[in-house]
């Protein structure tokens, strides 16, 4: 009886590790990124300053795994909300090949519509750029987006 229990326990260990690593590596999806942006737009319309503060802090569900809201001023391009780039001009962001994807994001921010831009960007905590796509819109003087890794 004890031998059978021991064998059963040992046999289940790989499954436990597989489940743990699968959930740790899970990234946000396109649908989750779009839903977060939709929620952010409603928040911006209700209280622009309060929303930007929440986005910067990742509060209120605005930071989920690799998903986060980032915003920039549509007049000068400076990030107003981002985990590490607040104050930097989005238009200057380029990938390793020199492509100015920040300018594309800046140009894509349109009031009342959501557009997408694909680019290469490192995952949080990483340095090697990987494929990413962001949903982008404009509310007032803020261009805001949520990106997900493809």
Q: At what angle do helices 48-57 and 30-46 cross, to 10 degrees?
A: 140
Give the pLDDT confidence score for residue 10 in this predicted structure: 46
14 domain-assigned: no
User: Structure tokens of 79?
Assistant: 């990030």
43 domain-assigned: yes
pLDDT at 16 exceeding the cut of 60 = no
Report yes or no: 127 and 47 within 8 Å, Cβ to Cβ.
no
pLDDT digits 0-9 by tens, 27-79: 999 999 999 999 999 999 999 999 999 999 999 999 999 999 999 999 999 99
Give the pLDDT confidence score for residue 123 in this predicted structure: 85
CA distance 52 to 41: 11
CATH number for the domain harbouring residue 68:
3.30.450.20
Domain count, the chain: 1
Report yes or no: 41 and 5 within 8 Å, Cβ to Cβ.
no
Residue 58's domain comprises 28-149
Pick the more confident residue, 3 or 50.
50
């Amino acid at each position: 009886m004890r031998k059978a229990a021991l064998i059963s326990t040992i046999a289940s260990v790989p499954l436990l590790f597989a489940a743990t690593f699968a959930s740790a590596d899970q990234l946000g999806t396109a649908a989750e990124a779009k839903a977060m942006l939709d929620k952010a737009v409603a928040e911006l319309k209700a209280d622009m300053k309060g929303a930007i503060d929440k986005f910067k802090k990742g509060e209120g569900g605005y930071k989920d795994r690799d998903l986060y809201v980032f915003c920039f001023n549509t007049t000068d391009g400076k990030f107003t909300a981002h985990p590490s780039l607040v104050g930097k001009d989005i238009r200057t962001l380029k990938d390793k090949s020199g492509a100015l994807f920040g300018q594309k994001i800046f140009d894509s921010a349109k009031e009342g519509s959501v557009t997408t831009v694909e680019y290469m960007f490192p995952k949080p905590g990483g340095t090697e750029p990987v494929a990413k796509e962001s949903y982008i819109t404009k509310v007032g003087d803020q261009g805001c987006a949520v990106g997900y890794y493809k």
